[in-house]
Chain A
Amino acid sequence: AQSVSQHNHHVILSEAASLELGCNYSYGGTVNLFWYVQYPGQHLQLLLKYFSGDPLVKGIKGFEAEFIKSKFSFNLRKPSVQWSDTAEYFCAVNPYTGNQFYFGTGTSLTVIP
């Protein structure tokens, strides 16, 4: 069965610190990759997505992610976090052959002002 691993469950950073959240998946075929964010009291929303092409994708609010096929990874990065980035972050994988989306368990990010 496909699985998505987010190894960082809780991350606490000070403002202006750099962020990297890990995401690894187990699926041998072609995949589409996503990062979603859920701000406190809000709905899940898309941060960025990768389908093909340049493995470095840029999303909203200064976030980016890099797809490394050989490592089955899609890590999320931001050079300098803000207090407003405090949220839950979910990595998701969509195998190219289907409509299922597999989410990781999420990483809770707290940014201290």
Chain B
Amino acid sequence: GAGVSQSPRYKVTKRGQDVALRCDPISGHVSLYWYRQALGQGPEFLTYFNYEAQQDKSGLPNDRFSAERPEGSISTLTIQRTEQRDSAMYRCASSLGGYTDTQYFGPGTRLTVL
């Protein structure tokens, strides 16, 4: 079956613009995670959804970052008023159940803010 997909794969934007990054998890997967990965670093946890409920957003760096998963499937990570420091790879992962289940990662979206 299809894996986790993310779009766009690459996004270049100008400072101050808003961006929306999309994650399409594996069908039937309850849990969805967003991570940010800077160059030379490991993935950094941003937020976690259980179905449509955002159960943990402790990793979102500030209020310019938000995420939603309105129907418990596709999720969107939105960054408002982008800054150069937001440039990174944004990764999405999904799992069948909770944290004990294997997370399947998508290919990521490479965001560059000029």
Q: B28 in the interface, Cβ–Cβ < 8 Å?
A: no
How many inter-chain residue pairs (CB < 8 Å) link A and B? Answer: 58
The prevalent SS among residues of B at the interface is loop
Tell me the chain A residues, 89-106 only, with Cβ under 8 Å from chain B: 90, 92, 94, 98-106
Q: A4 in the interface, Cβ–Cβ < 8 Å?
A: yes
Give 1 or 0 for each of B65-86: 1 = CB within 8 Å of chain A CB.
0000000000000000000000
Whether B98 lies near A43 (C-beta < 8 A) is: no
Give 1 or 0 for each of A54-82: 1 = CB within 8 Å of chain B CB.
00000000000000000000000000000
Tell me the chain B residues, 26-75 only, with Cβ under 8 Å from chain A: 31, 33, 35, 40-45, 48, 55-56, 58-59
Tell me the bound Cα distance from A36 to B1 in angstroms. Answer: 21
Q: A32 in the interface, Cβ–Cβ < 8 Å?
A: yes
The interface size bin for chain A is: 20 to 34
Whether A43 lies near B43 (C-beta < 8 A) is: no
Whether B56 lies near A98 (C-beta < 8 A) is: yes
Residue positions of A touching B, CB distance < 8 A? 4, 6, 32, 43-46, 49, 51, 90, 92, 94, 98-106
Whether B105 lies near A45 (C-beta < 8 A) is: yes
Number of interface residues of B (CB under 8 A): 28
For the complex of A and B, list the 5 residue pairs with the smallest distance between their C-beta atoms, beginning with the closest: A103-B42, A44-B105, A99-B48, A43-B105, A103-B43
Whether B44 lies near A103 (C-beta < 8 A) is: yes
Whether B103 lies near A4 (C-beta < 8 A) is: no
Whether B45 lies near A101 (C-beta < 8 A) is: yes
